[in-house]
Protein backbone atom coordinates (compact mmCIF):
# COMPACT_ATOMS: atom_id res chain seq x y z
CA UNK A 1 0.00 0.00 0.00
CA UNK A 2 1.27 3.52 -0.71
CA UNK A 3 2.09 5.74 2.24
CA UNK A 4 0.38 8.80 0.76
CA UNK A 5 -1.84 10.16 3.51
CA UNK A 6 -4.53 11.09 0.99
CA UNK A 7 -5.16 7.41 0.26
CA UNK A 8 -7.52 6.44 3.06
CA UNK A 9 -7.65 2.66 3.01
CA UNK A 10 -10.21 1.93 5.65
CA UNK A 11 -10.19 -1.80 6.31
CA UNK A 12 -8.93 -4.81 4.44
CA UNK A 13 -12.35 -5.52 2.96
CA UNK A 14 -11.15 -7.80 0.18
CA UNK A 15 -12.32 -11.38 0.71
CA UNK A 16 -10.11 -13.82 -1.18
CA UNK A 17 -10.88 -17.53 -1.63
CA UNK A 18 -7.12 -18.14 -1.46
CA UNK A 19 -6.32 -15.92 1.50
CA UNK A 20 -3.98 -13.87 -0.71
CA UNK A 21 -4.08 -10.13 -1.29
CA UNK A 22 -6.06 -8.71 -4.23
CA UNK A 23 -2.87 -7.65 -6.00
CA UNK A 24 -1.64 -11.26 -6.03
CA UNK A 25 -4.97 -12.72 -7.09
CA UNK A 26 -5.34 -10.20 -9.93
CA UNK A 27 -2.02 -11.38 -11.36
CA UNK A 28 -2.28 -15.13 -10.77
CA UNK A 29 -5.96 -16.14 -10.74
CA UNK A 30 -7.91 -17.15 -13.82
CA UNK A 31 -5.25 -18.56 -16.13
CA UNK A 32 -2.90 -21.46 -15.43
CA UNK A 33 -1.54 -22.19 -18.88
CA UNK A 34 2.01 -22.50 -20.09
CA UNK A 35 2.29 -19.10 -21.80
CA UNK A 36 3.31 -15.90 -20.04
CA UNK A 37 0.07 -14.33 -21.33
CA UNK A 38 -3.42 -15.64 -21.99
CA UNK A 39 -3.46 -16.69 -25.67
CA UNK A 40 -5.84 -15.03 -28.10
CA UNK A 41 -8.05 -17.88 -29.32
CA UNK A 42 -9.34 -16.30 -32.51
CA UNK A 43 -11.28 -19.33 -33.76
CA UNK A 44 -15.05 -18.98 -33.88
CA UNK A 45 -15.56 -22.54 -32.60
CA UNK A 46 -13.83 -23.85 -29.48
CA UNK A 47 -14.00 -27.15 -27.63
CA UNK A 48 -13.46 -26.16 -24.04
CA UNK A 49 -14.12 -29.36 -22.11
CA UNK A 50 -11.36 -29.74 -19.55
CA UNK A 51 -9.66 -26.44 -20.44
CA UNK A 52 -8.02 -25.47 -17.19
CA UNK A 53 -8.72 -21.99 -15.87
CA UNK A 54 -12.06 -21.26 -17.53
CA UNK A 55 -15.70 -21.72 -16.74
CA UNK A 56 -16.42 -24.65 -19.07
CA UNK A 57 -20.08 -24.67 -20.01
CA UNK A 58 -19.79 -27.17 -22.83
CA UNK A 59 -18.48 -26.58 -26.29
CA UNK A 60 -19.55 -24.68 -29.37
CA UNK A 61 -19.45 -21.38 -31.16
CA UNK A 62 -17.61 -18.39 -29.74
CA UNK A 63 -20.98 -16.76 -28.94
CA UNK A 64 -21.27 -19.29 -26.11
CA UNK A 65 -17.89 -18.15 -24.79
CA UNK A 66 -14.30 -18.97 -25.73
CA UNK A 67 -11.08 -19.73 -23.84
CA UNK A 68 -9.74 -16.16 -23.87
CA UNK A 69 -12.95 -14.72 -22.45
CA UNK A 70 -13.20 -17.73 -20.15
CA UNK A 71 -9.95 -16.69 -18.49
CA UNK A 72 -11.48 -13.26 -17.82
CA UNK A 73 -14.56 -14.91 -16.35
CA UNK A 74 -12.49 -17.04 -14.01
CA UNK A 75 -10.35 -14.10 -12.89
CA UNK A 76 -13.18 -11.64 -12.22
CA UNK A 77 -15.33 -14.36 -10.62
CA UNK A 78 -12.43 -14.91 -8.26
CA UNK A 79 -11.92 -11.20 -7.52
CA UNK A 80 -15.62 -10.59 -6.86
CA UNK A 81 -16.01 -13.78 -4.81
CA UNK A 82 -18.64 -15.35 -7.07
CA UNK A 83 -19.40 -18.87 -8.25
CA UNK A 84 -19.88 -18.00 -11.92
CA UNK A 85 -19.22 -15.20 -14.39
CA UNK A 86 -20.41 -14.35 -17.91
CA UNK A 87 -18.44 -11.99 -20.12
CA UNK A 88 -20.23 -9.75 -22.60
CA UNK A 89 -19.31 -7.47 -25.47
CA UNK A 90 -19.69 -4.30 -23.35
CA UNK A 91 -21.34 -2.99 -20.21
CA UNK A 92 -24.63 -2.29 -21.99
CA UNK A 93 -24.69 -5.88 -23.24
CA UNK A 94 -24.26 -7.08 -19.65
CA UNK A 95 -27.08 -4.84 -18.48
CA UNK A 96 -29.39 -5.83 -21.33
CA UNK A 97 -28.78 -9.54 -20.85
CA UNK A 98 -29.55 -9.21 -17.13
CA UNK A 99 -32.81 -7.41 -17.84
CA UNK A 100 -33.93 -9.81 -20.57
CA UNK A 101 -32.79 -12.84 -18.60
CA UNK A 102 -34.55 -11.92 -15.36
CA UNK A 103 -37.58 -9.83 -16.33
CA UNK A 104 -40.79 -10.97 -18.00
CA UNK A 105 -43.66 -8.88 -19.26
CA UNK A 106 -45.56 -7.51 -16.27
CA UNK A 107 -42.60 -7.74 -13.87
CA UNK A 108 -41.36 -4.71 -11.97
CA UNK A 109 -37.88 -3.23 -11.55
CA UNK A 110 -36.93 -0.45 -9.12
CA UNK A 111 -33.83 1.62 -9.85
CA UNK A 112 -31.98 4.37 -8.02
CA UNK A 113 -32.81 7.92 -9.05
CA UNK A 114 -29.53 8.35 -10.93
CA UNK A 115 -27.87 5.71 -13.09
CA UNK A 116 -25.65 5.43 -16.14
CA UNK A 117 -27.34 7.01 -19.18
CA UNK A 118 -27.96 3.64 -20.84
CA UNK A 119 -29.69 2.32 -17.72
CA UNK A 120 -31.81 5.48 -17.60
CA UNK A 121 -32.91 4.82 -21.18
CA UNK A 122 -33.90 1.26 -20.33
CA UNK A 123 -35.81 2.11 -17.14
CA UNK A 124 -37.40 5.36 -18.27
CA UNK A 125 -38.24 4.46 -21.85
CA UNK A 126 -37.79 1.06 -23.48
CA UNK A 127 -38.55 -1.39 -20.67
CA UNK A 128 -41.98 0.10 -19.92
CA UNK A 129 -42.96 1.27 -23.41
CA UNK A 130 -41.69 -1.62 -25.55
CA UNK A 131 -41.50 -4.62 -23.24
CA UNK A 132 -44.36 -4.08 -20.78
CA UNK A 133 -42.15 -4.01 -17.68
CA UNK A 134 -43.17 -1.78 -14.78
CA UNK A 135 -40.35 0.52 -13.66
CA UNK A 136 -39.91 2.88 -10.73
CA UNK A 137 -37.14 5.28 -9.71
CA UNK A 138 -36.44 6.27 -6.11
CA UNK A 139 -33.67 7.97 -4.17
CA UNK A 140 -32.29 4.86 -2.48
CA UNK A 141 -30.42 6.93 0.08
CA UNK A 142 -33.90 7.27 1.60
CA UNK A 143 -34.60 3.76 2.90
CA UNK A 144 -38.22 4.59 3.71
CA UNK A 145 -38.78 5.67 0.11
CA UNK A 146 -37.43 2.34 -1.10
CA UNK A 147 -39.57 0.42 1.39
CA UNK A 148 -42.62 2.21 0.02
CA UNK A 149 -41.62 1.44 -3.57
CA UNK A 150 -41.18 -2.23 -2.68
CA UNK A 151 -44.69 -2.55 -1.28
CA UNK A 152 -45.65 -3.37 -4.85
CA UNK A 153 -44.33 -6.80 -5.98
CA UNK A 154 -40.87 -6.28 -7.48
CA UNK A 155 -38.55 -8.64 -9.34
CA UNK A 156 -35.31 -6.61 -9.44
CA UNK A 157 -33.73 -3.79 -7.43
CA UNK A 158 -30.97 -2.18 -9.51
CA UNK A 159 -28.40 0.35 -8.34
CA UNK A 160 -24.84 1.65 -8.56
CA UNK A 161 -23.28 2.05 -5.09
CA UNK A 162 -21.46 5.22 -6.23
CA UNK A 163 -23.97 6.65 -8.66
CA UNK A 164 -23.13 7.94 -12.13
CA UNK A 165 -23.17 10.92 -12.32
CA UNK A 166 -24.74 12.39 -9.16
CA UNK A 167 -22.04 10.80 -6.97
CA UNK A 168 -24.66 9.60 -4.49
CA UNK A 169 -23.41 6.74 -2.32
CA UNK A 170 -25.94 4.11 -1.34
CA UNK A 171 -25.94 1.96 1.80
CA UNK A 172 -25.18 -1.28 -0.01
CA UNK A 173 -26.15 -3.87 2.59
CA UNK A 174 -29.28 -1.99 3.66
CA UNK A 175 -30.56 -1.85 0.06
CA UNK A 176 -29.76 -5.50 -0.60
CA UNK A 177 -31.55 -6.56 2.59
CA UNK A 178 -34.63 -4.50 1.71
CA UNK A 179 -34.70 -6.04 -1.75
CA UNK A 180 -34.52 -9.56 -0.35
CA UNK A 181 -37.14 -8.83 2.30
CA UNK A 182 -39.46 -7.86 -0.56
CA UNK A 183 -38.63 -11.01 -2.54
CA UNK A 184 -36.61 -9.11 -5.17
CA UNK A 185 -33.17 -9.75 -6.62
CA UNK A 186 -30.45 -7.19 -5.88
CA UNK A 187 -28.41 -6.31 -8.98
CA UNK A 188 -25.40 -4.03 -8.47
CA UNK A 189 -23.42 -2.17 -11.14
CA UNK A 190 -19.95 -1.97 -9.57
CA UNK A 191 -18.23 -0.21 -12.49
CA UNK A 192 -17.18 2.94 -10.58
CA UNK A 193 -15.57 1.07 -7.68
CA UNK A 194 -14.34 -2.30 -9.04
CA UNK A 195 -13.86 -5.33 -6.76
CA UNK A 196 -10.68 -3.72 -5.46
CA UNK A 197 -12.72 -1.14 -3.54
CA UNK A 198 -16.02 -3.02 -3.02
CA UNK A 199 -17.26 -6.62 -3.36
CA UNK A 200 -21.09 -6.45 -3.45
CA UNK A 201 -21.48 -10.26 -3.40
CA UNK A 202 -19.93 -10.27 0.07
CA UNK A 203 -22.93 -8.20 1.17
CA UNK A 204 -25.32 -10.75 -0.39
CA UNK A 205 -26.00 -9.09 -3.74
CA UNK A 206 -27.45 -11.57 -6.22
CA UNK A 207 -25.61 -10.18 -9.24
CA UNK A 208 -22.76 -7.74 -9.75
CA UNK A 209 -21.97 -6.37 -13.20
CA UNK A 210 -19.23 -4.21 -14.68
CA UNK A 211 -18.60 -2.21 -17.78
CA UNK A 212 -15.05 -3.56 -17.96
CA UNK A 213 -14.47 -1.01 -20.73
CA UNK A 214 -13.81 1.40 -17.88
CA UNK A 215 -11.50 0.71 -14.91
CA UNK A 216 -11.13 -3.05 -15.33
CA UNK A 217 -9.53 -2.78 -18.77
CA UNK A 218 -8.40 0.70 -17.86
CA UNK A 219 -6.64 1.97 -20.98
CA UNK A 220 -9.40 3.16 -23.30
CA UNK A 221 -8.68 0.42 -25.84
CA UNK A 222 -11.26 -2.33 -25.22
CA UNK A 223 -15.03 -2.77 -24.99
CA UNK A 224 -16.08 -5.41 -22.46
CA UNK A 225 -18.66 -6.27 -19.82
CA UNK A 226 -19.13 -8.98 -17.21
CA UNK A 227 -21.84 -10.41 -14.94
CA UNK A 228 -20.96 -12.31 -11.74
CA UNK A 229 -23.13 -14.21 -9.29
CA UNK A 230 -23.52 -17.26 -7.07
CA UNK A 231 -26.90 -18.84 -7.88
CA UNK A 232 -26.82 -21.18 -10.88
CA UNK A 233 -30.57 -20.68 -11.38
CA UNK A 234 -29.88 -16.98 -12.03
CA UNK A 235 -26.96 -17.72 -14.35
CA UNK A 236 -28.88 -19.95 -16.75
CA UNK A 237 -31.37 -17.40 -18.19
CA UNK A 238 -28.66 -14.73 -18.46
CA UNK A 239 -26.28 -17.09 -20.25
CA UNK A 240 -29.12 -18.01 -22.59
CA UNK A 241 -29.57 -14.32 -23.42
CA UNK A 242 -25.89 -14.02 -24.33
CA UNK A 243 -26.35 -16.82 -26.86
CA UNK A 244 -29.62 -15.42 -28.25
CA UNK A 245 -28.51 -11.79 -28.38
CA UNK A 246 -24.94 -12.48 -29.49
CA UNK A 247 -23.31 -10.08 -27.04
CA UNK A 248 -20.11 -12.08 -26.70
CA UNK A 249 -16.73 -10.66 -25.68
CA UNK A 250 -14.33 -10.63 -28.65
CA UNK A 251 -11.05 -12.54 -28.11
CA UNK A 252 -8.82 -9.50 -28.64
CA UNK A 253 -10.83 -7.44 -26.17
CA UNK A 254 -10.69 -10.33 -23.69
CA UNK A 255 -6.91 -10.37 -24.04
CA UNK A 256 -6.72 -6.63 -23.35
CA UNK A 257 -8.96 -6.96 -20.28
CA UNK A 258 -6.85 -9.83 -18.96
CA UNK A 259 -3.79 -7.64 -19.30
CA UNK A 260 -5.46 -4.62 -17.72
CA UNK A 261 -6.69 -6.56 -14.70
CA UNK A 262 -3.14 -7.42 -13.66
CA UNK A 263 -2.52 -3.78 -12.75
CA UNK A 264 -6.02 -2.92 -11.51
CA UNK A 265 -5.03 -2.65 -7.85
CA UNK A 266 -2.14 -0.30 -8.53
CA UNK A 267 -4.16 1.84 -10.92
CA UNK A 268 -7.08 2.15 -8.49
CA UNK A 269 -4.71 3.24 -5.73
CA UNK A 270 -3.40 6.03 -7.95
CA UNK A 271 -6.91 7.00 -9.07
CA UNK A 272 -7.89 7.32 -5.39
CA UNK A 273 -4.85 9.43 -4.52
CA UNK A 274 -5.24 11.73 -7.52
CA UNK A 275 -9.00 12.17 -7.14
CA UNK A 276 -8.66 13.17 -3.50
CA UNK A 277 -6.07 15.83 -4.37
CA UNK A 278 -8.12 17.17 -7.29
CA UNK A 279 -11.27 17.26 -5.15
CA UNK A 280 -9.51 19.19 -2.39
CA UNK A 281 -8.21 21.67 -4.94
CA UNK A 282 -11.62 22.19 -6.54
CA UNK A 283 -13.28 22.60 -3.14
CA UNK A 284 -11.20 25.74 -2.63
CA UNK A 285 -11.49 27.13 -6.16
CA UNK A 286 -13.28 30.51 -6.44
CA UNK A 287 -15.15 29.44 -9.60
CA UNK A 288 -16.51 26.25 -7.99
CA UNK A 289 -19.51 26.22 -5.65
CA UNK A 290 -19.79 22.49 -4.84
CA UNK A 291 -17.59 19.40 -5.10
CA UNK A 292 -18.98 15.88 -4.92
CA UNK A 293 -16.28 13.36 -4.06
CA UNK A 294 -16.93 10.49 -1.72
CA UNK A 295 -13.54 10.86 -0.06
CA UNK A 296 -14.27 14.38 1.17
CA UNK A 297 -15.82 14.68 4.65
CA UNK A 298 -18.19 17.23 3.09
CA UNK A 299 -19.83 14.52 0.96
CA UNK A 300 -23.24 13.80 2.54
CA UNK A 301 -22.75 10.03 2.26
CA UNK A 302 -19.09 9.96 3.34
CA UNK A 303 -19.79 8.34 6.70
CA UNK A 304 -21.93 5.61 5.12
CA UNK A 305 -19.15 4.76 2.69
CA UNK A 306 -16.72 4.14 5.55
CA UNK A 307 -18.56 0.89 6.31
CA UNK A 308 -17.78 -0.59 2.91
CA UNK A 309 -14.89 0.83 0.92
CA UNK A 310 -11.13 0.38 0.87
CA UNK A 311 -10.81 3.71 -0.96
CA UNK A 312 -13.09 6.25 -2.61
CA UNK A 313 -12.37 5.78 -6.29
CA UNK A 314 -11.48 8.15 -9.10
CA UNK A 315 -14.82 9.78 -9.93
CA UNK A 316 -16.00 13.21 -8.81
CA UNK A 317 -18.36 15.97 -9.85
CA UNK A 318 -18.34 19.70 -9.33
CA UNK A 319 -20.62 22.68 -9.85
CA UNK A 320 -19.16 25.86 -11.32
CA UNK A 321 -20.49 29.38 -11.02
CA UNK A 322 -23.02 30.32 -13.75
CA UNK A 323 -20.51 32.61 -15.44
CA UNK A 324 -18.32 29.66 -16.50
CA UNK A 325 -18.73 28.97 -20.23
CA UNK A 326 -18.65 25.18 -20.36
CA UNK A 327 -17.93 25.03 -24.06
CA UNK A 328 -14.89 27.25 -23.55
CA UNK A 329 -13.93 25.19 -20.49
CA UNK A 330 -13.88 21.98 -22.51
CA UNK A 331 -11.87 23.52 -25.34
CA UNK A 332 -9.22 24.97 -23.02
CA UNK A 333 -7.78 21.68 -21.74
CA UNK A 334 -4.15 20.91 -22.46
CA UNK A 335 -3.91 17.39 -21.01
CA UNK A 336 -7.42 16.56 -19.76
CA UNK A 337 -9.84 15.29 -22.39
CA UNK A 338 -13.47 16.46 -22.82
CA UNK A 339 -14.61 12.91 -23.46
CA UNK A 340 -17.63 10.90 -22.38
CA UNK A 341 -16.01 7.74 -21.03
CA UNK A 342 -14.35 7.10 -17.66
CA UNK A 343 -11.84 4.89 -15.91
CA UNK A 344 -8.98 5.55 -18.35
CA UNK A 345 -5.38 6.46 -17.60
CA UNK A 346 -6.19 9.95 -18.92
CA UNK A 347 -8.29 12.46 -17.00
CA UNK A 348 -11.66 12.75 -18.73
CA UNK A 349 -14.06 15.64 -18.11
CA UNK A 350 -17.72 15.54 -19.12
CA UNK A 351 -18.77 19.17 -18.86
CA UNK A 352 -22.43 20.19 -18.87
CA UNK A 353 -23.38 23.83 -18.78
CA UNK A 354 -27.09 23.08 -18.99
CA UNK A 355 -29.87 23.17 -16.41
CA UNK A 356 -29.04 19.76 -14.95
CA UNK A 357 -31.59 17.12 -13.97
CA UNK A 358 -33.08 17.66 -10.50
CA UNK A 359 -34.95 14.32 -10.57
CA UNK A 360 -31.62 12.53 -10.88
CA UNK A 361 -29.80 14.82 -8.47
CA UNK A 362 -27.74 16.51 -11.19
CA UNK A 363 -27.42 20.28 -10.59
CA UNK A 364 -26.99 22.97 -13.22
CA UNK A 365 -23.45 23.89 -14.33
CA UNK A 366 -22.21 20.43 -13.37
CA UNK A 367 -19.12 18.60 -14.63
CA UNK A 368 -18.17 14.97 -14.06
CA UNK A 369 -14.46 14.18 -13.81
CA UNK A 370 -12.82 10.78 -14.21
CA UNK A 371 -9.46 11.53 -12.61
CA UNK A 372 -6.65 9.77 -14.44
CA UNK A 373 -3.16 8.61 -13.63
CA UNK A 374 -1.21 11.71 -14.62
CA UNK A 375 0.73 13.62 -11.99
CA UNK A 376 -1.97 15.20 -9.79
CA UNK A 377 -0.32 18.62 -9.87
CA UNK A 378 -0.49 18.58 -13.67
CA UNK A 379 -4.18 17.64 -13.59
CA UNK A 380 -4.87 20.43 -11.12
CA UNK A 381 -2.94 22.99 -13.16
CA UNK A 382 -4.87 22.04 -16.30
CA UNK A 383 -8.27 22.27 -14.63
CA UNK A 384 -7.29 25.58 -13.06
CA UNK A 385 -6.18 27.23 -16.29
CA UNK A 386 -9.22 25.88 -18.17
CA UNK A 387 -11.62 27.23 -15.56
CA UNK A 388 -9.91 30.61 -15.52
CA UNK A 389 -10.08 30.85 -19.32
CA UNK A 390 -13.80 30.06 -19.35
CA UNK A 391 -15.07 33.20 -17.59
CATH code of 22-261, in short, is: 3.40.640.10
The per-residue pLDDT for 48 is: 57
Q: Given this model, what pLDDT does residue 12 score?
A: 57
Positions in the chain whose pLDDT score sits under 50: 1-11, 50-51, 53-60
List, for residues 188-222, the tens digit of each pLDDT value: 999 999 999 999 999 999 999 999 999 999 999 99
CATH architecture entry for 264-389: Alpha-Beta Complex (3.90)
Query: Given this model, what pLDDT does residue 149 score?
Result: 99
Looking at residue 352, its pLDDT comes to: 80
pLDDT at residue number 383 = 99
What pLDDT is stored for residue 49 in this prediction? 54
Domain coordinates of the chain in residue numbers? 22-261, 264-389
pLDDT computed for residue 355 by the predictor:
87
Name the residue among 181, 173, 160 with its Cα closest to residue 95: 160
Amino acid sequence: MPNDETLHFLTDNYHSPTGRDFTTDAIHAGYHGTSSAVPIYQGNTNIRDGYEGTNSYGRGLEKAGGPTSGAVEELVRHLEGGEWAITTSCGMAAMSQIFFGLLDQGDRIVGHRCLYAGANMWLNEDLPSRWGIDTARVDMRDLDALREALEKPTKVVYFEPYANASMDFIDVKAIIDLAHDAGALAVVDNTFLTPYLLQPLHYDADIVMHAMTKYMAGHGDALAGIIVGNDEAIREPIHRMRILMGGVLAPMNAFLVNRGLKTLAFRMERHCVNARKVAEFLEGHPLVTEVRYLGLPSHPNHETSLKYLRGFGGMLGFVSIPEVDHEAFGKAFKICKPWYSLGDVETLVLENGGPGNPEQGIPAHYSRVSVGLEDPDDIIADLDQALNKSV
